[in-house]
Every structure is written in structure tokens, then in C-alpha cells.
Amino acid sequence: MGNSTIKNSRFFCIAPWSSITVAGNGDIKPCCTYDATMGNVHKGDDLITIWNSPKFIELRRKILAKQEPPGCRSCYRREQMIGTSRRLWLEDKFGIPDRDYGNLMPDPAFIHIDLNFANLCNYKCRMCSSTHSSSWYTEDLTIRSLYPELGRRLGQPVCCEPGYFSSLLDHFDQLERIDFKGGEPMVHDKHFDFLEMLIESGRASEITLVYVTNGSKISLRCDDVFPHFKEVKMIVSVDGTGELYKYIRSDTIPLEEIVENLSGLQRFYNLNGLWTVTTQVYNIFNLPDILDFIENNKLSNFANSYPVFDCTVTNPAYLRFSVMPKKLKNKAVEILEKTNDCRYNAIIQTLLTDEDDHTLYWDKFRIFAIALDEIRGTDLRTVVPLLGDAVYE
């Protein structure tokens, strides 16, 4: 099959030919969205060996056969809900790299990698889990034993050694960008050792580093490594304001202190920041407040183009904003439409047109929300009364 035919397929994706991800729990995948694992660095799997292992080959084969790979469903679901996805994002950022897309076992030549050194995190956001945050571990143990129907996976706290990634260094000639997510990447000291290896390899000045961070901690080691890289981007998550911010993030420092913390980043000439909002059932009524907060707390090296809503929870499915009953969806539409802000268009469209029966997921959300309130001593009704009253009714 010719390259042009493949590229025109609606299942075409550059990730399996140009990108690799190590998740916070050590799982090896083509991208952060892929909902299955090809191997795990904590089981001794080598990244370059996995790159051409049977599972990676099968993923490429499915894409070439214009079939939907089961691990890619999140991308298609996101495209339906908010009009974008990791698949489309990759193509937008990196174009379509020059590759022989008919080759099921290509030589590794990475454009982009997504390295998460650990699932250690100082927060336990409600839309997260023990797979991505060590702070979730004991609560996930409890919820799993009390409510197995929620199907929560349990992730042990783990941390990578920089040596796990040394086999990648020979394949960075085309590397443009590395993403660090986590857990919370700023508390993963060992990733700085890896960055020092990159600086020694002489490639750093051509690579952009991207952090998805909660902004609560800025390591002093940034001063030694950041200036060597082409650019550093800090994507700071803000998923609520006021009490909702604390409720979602769990007993953390107030958002105002995060802004103060981030203002220290202005010392890096090559650093740019960006806010990101993960839309979900907990914050769908609060989105205009989040945008107001961002507009009122400008930082000089943070982009003034405020977030478009290109990040949404799809997994677990019961935290999607689309699981709400019709009455709540209509209320959310009313709040968002009142702003006359076109950035809500895709969300409003989904809220208005989604006719799927989500009763099962809404019931699961109620179980989850009440269980977590009980464990954490919180009450959704006092934070988002509209949602809380419906959950507890």
C-alpha cells in the first residue's frame, strides 16, 4: 500500500512510526493515550526491543489495514467529544514525518518521546488513580475492595532509573520534543540525571522539554539544566477555582500560591508556560470561573492565549462530563452559552447532541463520588451544589 493511501485513512497515526511513551507505572506504549501496554520497563523490558515487538507490529498492521486498533479508542472517543485527540495533536505538532509507512518494523527514529520517570505525585486529583499518582494508592486499595464494579486498576508506587532509557540515546537524531508528565515530574529528581545525559550527548540545544505539572514545586535543579535546551514549556493544570480546586486536587495549597510559585519561572529566558484544563464531570459548571481566573492572573512568560479545551477525561468513563443526566447537561449548556465564548462550542455541541444511554456510568459516578467523599471527609454538595445534590439525591 502506498504512503499516500495510508495517510488518508481515518485511522492513520504517526505515533507507532515516530514516537514512544513510558507511562508513570513503567508501561511502554506508542503514546500516552494508548489504552494497553506493549511492555514495562520495571519488568526489564528494553524500549528498543519493544519498539519492534509483536504488539507494536500488530498495531502498525491494524493501522495499515485501516482497522481500529482497540488501544486507540480513546483517541476516537475524544474526537467525538471535543473534536481533537492525541492522534490529531501529533500530526499538528510534527506534521507527517518522512517514513516508509508500509514498513511494519521500522528503525527507531523518534521525533517525540513521552517519558514519565515515576508515578510519584504529591497530589491525588479525583480524576487520577494510583497508576499515575502514588498518593492515590491507599484510597484505591479501599475503593477496589468496597466497589469492585468500578474496575479501578491498582498501581504500585514505582520510579525509573535513568539507565532504563539509555538505549534510546542512539535514536535521537530527529528528536524534537520530550514530554514529562508523571506523577508530578517536578518531584522526579532522576529525570534531571537523564537530562544531564542528554546535555553530555550534545543534542540538548535541539530539543524542547515539555512538563505537564501541577505547579506546586519547582526544583532547584532546573537552573542547571533548562538553559541548555532549545526551549522549555510548562503546561500547568488548573481544573477548578477556589474550593473546587482544593476539592479536586485534594487538600492542596490554594491556586493563588501556585501562581506565586510559577512567577519564579520568569528567570528562564527560554521557558514558556501554558495553562491547561482537563474537562470532566466535576468541573463542567466551573469552566467560566477557570477562564476568569487565568485572565486575572497573567504571568509574563505564560501564553496569553487562554486554554482551548483540548483535554478531557475519557477514562474512567464515569468521569466524562457526558455521563450527566439530561437535566444537568442542559444546565451546563445554559451556563456555558451565557459566556458567548466560542471556546465552549465543541463541549456545548457534545452536551446537546449526545443521546447515548449513560445511566450505568452515571450510577458508577455516584458510587465513586460518594465513596471518595466519605474517605476524604468532603461533601460534593458544598462545593458544586448542582452536581452534588443530584449525586446524593
Q: Is 31 in the site for ligand SF4 (CB under 6 A)?
A: yes
Per-residue binder mask for ligand SF4 (CB under 6 A), 116-135, x = binder: --------------------
Smaller CB distance to ligand SF4: residue 60 or 249? 60
CB of 273 to ligand SF4, least distance (A): 25
CB of 270 to ligand SF4, least distance (A): 28
Count, residues near ligand SF4 per rule CB under 6 A? 15
CB of 226 to ligand SF4, least distance (A): 28
Q: Is 22 in the site for ligand SF4 (CB under 6 A)?
A: no
Q: Is 311 in the site for ligand SF4 (CB under 6 A)?
A: no
Q: Is 15 in the site for ligand SF4 (CB under 6 A)?
A: yes
Smaller CB distance to ligand SF4: residue 76 or 147? 76
CB contact at 8 A, 212 and 235: yes
Hey, what's the cell of 169? 540515546
HSE toward the beta carbon, residue 295, CA cutoff 13 A: 6
CB of 111 to ligand SF4, least distance (A): 13
CB of 25 to ligand SF4, least distance (A): 17
Pick the binder of ligand SF4 from 13, 271, 372, 391 (CB under 6 A): 13
Where does residue 5 fall: left (phi above 0), alpha (psi -120 to 50 degrees), or beta otherwise?
A: alpha
CB of 93 to ligand SF4, least distance (A): 12
Smaller CB distance to ligand SF4: residue 72 or 195? 72
* Largest pairwise CA distance in the chain: 61
| Interface of this chain with ligand SF4, residues 51 to 80, rule: CB under 6 A | 69, 72, 74-75
Q: How far is the C-alpha of 353 from the C-alpha of 333, rounded, in Å?
A: 11
Pick the binder of ligand SF4 from 24, 26, 27, 30 (CB under 6 A): 30
Q: How far is CA 41 from CA 22, 45, 99, 109, in A?
A: 8, 5, 27, 20
Task: Please report, as a single letter, which amino acid is at residue 129.
Answer: S
Handedness of CA 21, 23, 26, 30 (dihedral sign): negative
Smaller CB distance to ligand SF4: residue 70 or 254? 70
Q: Is 87 in the site for ligand SF4 (CB under 6 A)?
A: yes
| 383: nearest Cα among 277, 288, 391, 364 | 391
The neighbouring-strand residues paired with 271 are 232
Q: How far is CA 312 from CA 129, 248, 276, 282, 370, in A?
A: 15, 15, 10, 11, 22
CB of 75 to ligand SF4, least distance (A): 3
* Start-to-end C-alpha separation, the chain: 57
CB contact at 8 A, 47 and 168: yes
Q: How far is the C-alpha of 224 from the C-alpha of 367, rounded, in Å?
A: 47
Smaller CB distance to ligand SF4: residue 176 or 196? 176
CB of 301 to ligand SF4, least distance (A): 29
Pick the binder of ligand SF4 from 77, 86, 126, 177 (CB under 6 A): 86
Q: How far is the C-alpha of 329 from the C-alpha of 358, rounded, in Å?
A: 12
Residues that bind ligand SF4 (CB under 6 A): 13, 15-16, 30-31, 33-34, 69, 72, 74-75, 85-87, 90
